[in-house]
Amino acid sequence: MISTISSTKFPQLLPPTHQIYKSKRFQFYCYASISTAPLSAVSTTNSTCVISNFENQIHEIERLCEQSNTEAAILLTEQLIKDGFPIQLQIFLLLLQCCAGSRSLASVRKTHYLITRSQPKTSTLVFSYLASIYCKLGGLTDARQLLDKKLQKPKPGNKRKETYEKVRELHKEIREIGYVPDTRYVLQDIDEEAKEQSLMYHSERLAIAFGLISTPPGTTLRIMKNLRICGDCHNAVKLMSKVVEREIIMRDNKRFHHFRDGVCSCGDFW
Ligand SMILES: [Zn+2]
Ligand SMILES: [Zn+2]
């Protein structure tokens, strides 16, 4: 029975009562054994035996943690993971608490590794607890790496590449519903194909592509432009609002254009 855990900062770390805790694990393991072993191989006696052994090992981990024997508790958890047992969140939280108590950064790292191995999708609770322990024990680089990984910050280069890919994809789609580039809006003396390319990368179209890859579907895009929108962009953006099913509100130096479902609020006069 775990009765020594207490944390005012992380009250949710308190494990549920022993009975619920136990029965949850029991169901969890039963499920695992049925799904991984051939039906004929799962005899009731064997399962009960394995489960009871697993239960004992978990009790042993709890006992080791209570005695602040962090290293042994980690070793035993590692063995259980190697044997294919599902380790529940509460056990990892208990281990982390134990690591924090023994002020061992190495143990926190080891437990962190075991968590990643056992639960590929780290829960927010474990994540915040890990980050706070790393900070408390001076593992600031570890905490930063953890945060970076969690936020999955895209590198600026990638976002730029994605934006350009998105703008090309958008043009393919609007061409299918009738977009024909109006190259009269390109004043440079270049060939037709280059003129079409140049129109495709006008800043407002890149802004729309960037908005599309950066916001959830359906979000209204708001774009500011300090010059007047060109006629070809106006036409392209109307069609874009239709293919992507988004409202696009654009403010140029003259007025607001509210694009929706292939038409603009200005009625093509601006
Ligand atoms: Zn334009
Ligand atoms: Zn308009």
Phi, psi of 222 (to 5 degrees): -120, 125
Give the closest ligand to the alpha carbon of residue 227.
Answer: 1
The pLDDT > 90 percentage for the chain reads 50
- The C-alpha atoms of residue 266 and residue 246 are separated, in whole angstroms, by 17
State mean pLDDT over 127-156.
82
pLDDT of residue 32: 30
- The C-alpha atoms of residue 124 and residue 116 are separated, in whole angstroms, by 13
pLDDT of residue 223: 93
- Worst-scoring range by mean pLDDT, 10-14, 62-66, 152-156? 10-14
pLDDT of residue 157: 64
Give the closest ligand to the alpha carbon of residue 263.
Answer: 2
- Worst-scoring range by mean pLDDT, 11-25, 162-176, 201-215? 11-25
Give the closest ligand to the alpha carbon of residue 185.
Answer: 1
- The C-alpha atoms of residue 124 and residue 93 are separated, in whole angstroms, by 12
pLDDT of residue 233: 97
Does the structure show a pLDDT above 70 at 27? Answer: no
Q: Measured between alpha carbons, how far apart are the two ends of the chain, in Å? A: 74
> Do 129 and 136 contact (CB within 8 A), yes or no?
no
- The C-alpha atoms of residue 186 and residue 153 are separated, in whole angstroms, by 36
How many Å lie between the centroid of ligand 2 and the Cα of residue 75? 67
Residue-wise DSSP of 133-183 = HHHHTT-HHHHHHHHHHHHTPPPHHHHHHHHHHHHHHHHHHHHHTT----G
DSSP H stretches of helix in the chain: 18-36, 44-66, 70-82, 89-102, 105-118, 124-136, 140-151, 156-176, 192-200, 203-214, 231-243
- State the average pLDDT for the chain: 80
**Which of 48-57, 153-162, 202-211 is the most confident on average?**
202-211
How many Å lie between the centroid of ligand 2 and the Cα of residue 182? 16
pLDDT band at 120 (very low <50, low <70, confident <90, very high): low
How many Å lie between the centroid of ligand 1 and the Cα of residue 219? 23
